[in-house]
Amino acid sequence: MCTYISNSATVIGAGKGASGWFRVNQATVGFDHPTFTSAEHAILIDFTSRGEDLSARVAVELDLESGRALLATLTETIRAAEASGVE
Amino acid sequence: MWNSFRTDQTLGITAEITTYAGCGGDTIHAYVARPTTDGPHPGVVAIHHMPGWDEFYQEFCERLARHGYIVIAPDLYCRFGHGSPDDVFAKARSEGGVHDDAVVADGAAALEWLKAQPDFSGKTGTIGSCSGGRHALLLASLVPGFDAVADLWGGGVVPTDQVNPARPVAPLEYTPQLATPVLGIFGNEDKGPTPEQVDLHEAELKKHGKDYEFHRYDGAGHGFIYYHNGLYRPEQAMDAWEKIFAFFERNLSAE
């Protein structure tokens, strides 16, 4: 099934893609058909640069459990970063 | 039937990427595969799956062409830009996918392209898988001139929470006006369409007295003819191909 589940966030950062480093300004998280993973559906995360060539993309496909683990790790890392007082 | 050609037969195919005027007059790309033999040949408008206008769909077109059809597969994601198929798919996904109206208009223009081919027989089918199965049903329901439609596990055919501004109407709603025979190919382990959703679709076709045939496969889920990934189920896939060949031959052969 094509779920069309997709959400995007504006972000500031950089990513390393097939052609090297590039500025990242959008993160899109979906749950739909993966390209590489042998599963009907996967969490699809794309870091991209709006306005740039479509190959400016860092792509990740994860199963749901991995998505939860990533979310927990990201949340914990942000919590620790904020608690550290370092910017 | 697949692999039933005579070894002294001269049938071959040609295939290429071309452009044509799609929705709104936009120039879009299309993959065209066709027999090298003299016509007339029936036509097929192939509607690619959600992962996009990719190498699988090029080979999909070639397989149908090898069985005697002029096949045109529009690049429905052409307006999202160009790059590798997975990069374009990512762009399309981030923008919510392609709008139904654009798909139908691009498909209608593909039908007109077929009509302009000197070796076209006048009979046309449409086929698609995944989102393309749903799109093929929409196309056959909304555009006069098709003689057969094959839906390969199209999701969102029955109303679900997928109905949104880009996909405002589930194809099920158009069943009363659908004038072409329908072939449905489904895996019983699919989560979308589920067997229950396929039941609803079948009930609607039956209710309106439509000409249809559904084939449902045990041990198969979504996308079971996709030989490039782990969804592939070879026995079910080859049987499904036989159903497709027979359905198109029955409905698209010359009178």
H/E element, B124: strand B120-129
Q: Where are the domains of chain B?
A: 13-252
Under 8 Å CB-to-CB from B111, ≥6 apart: which residues? B43, B45, B124, B143, B145, B146
- Going by the DSSP 8-state scheme, the letter that residue B102 receives in this structure is H
Tell me whether residues B50 and A8 touch, CB distance under 8 A. Answer: no
pLDDT value for B162: 65
pLDDT value for B166: 87
d(CA B143, CA B112): 11
Q: Where are the domains of chain A?
A: 5-84
Say whether A21 sits in a helix, a strand or coil: strand
**Whole-number Cα distances in Å, B48 to B23, B58, B226, B255:** 16, 9, 12, 29
- What ipTM is given for this predicted complex? 0.89
Say whether B152 sits in a helix, a strand or coil: strand
Can you list the residues of chain A whose pLDDT is less than 70? Answer: 1
Tell me whether residues A33 and B50 touch, CB distance under 8 A. Answer: yes
H/E element, B47: strand B41-47
pLDDT value for B160: 73
- Maximum separation of any 2 CA atoms in chain B, in Å: 53
- Going by the DSSP 8-state scheme, the letter that residue B66 receives in this structure is H
Tell me whether residues A39 and B164 touch, CB distance under 8 A. Answer: no
> Over the range A32-42, which residues count as b (16 or more CB within 10 Å of their CB) and which as e?
bbbbebeebbb
Which residues in chain A are closer than 8 Å to B131, comparing Cβ atoms? 2
CATH class, B13-252 region: alpha beta
- Segment-wise mean pLDDT, segments of 10 residues, chain B, 255 residues: 89 95 94 96 97 97 97 97 96 94 97 97 97 97 98 91 81 96 97 94 98 98 94 97 98 85
pLDDT value for A60: 97
Touching check for B159 and chain A: CB below 8 Å?
A: no
pLDDT value for B135: 97
Size of interface A-B (CB pairs under 8 A): 80
Say whether A27 sits in a helix, a strand or coil: strand
- Going by the DSSP 8-state scheme, the letter that residue A87 receives in this structure is -
Q: Model-level pTM? A: 0.94
Residue A53 has its nearest CB partner, among B83, B130, B191, at B83
What backbone phi and psi angles, to 5 degrees, belong to B129?
Answer: -125, 155
Q: Which amino acid is at A50?
A: R
Which residues in chain B are closer than 8 Å to A28, comparing Cβ atoms? 90, 93-94
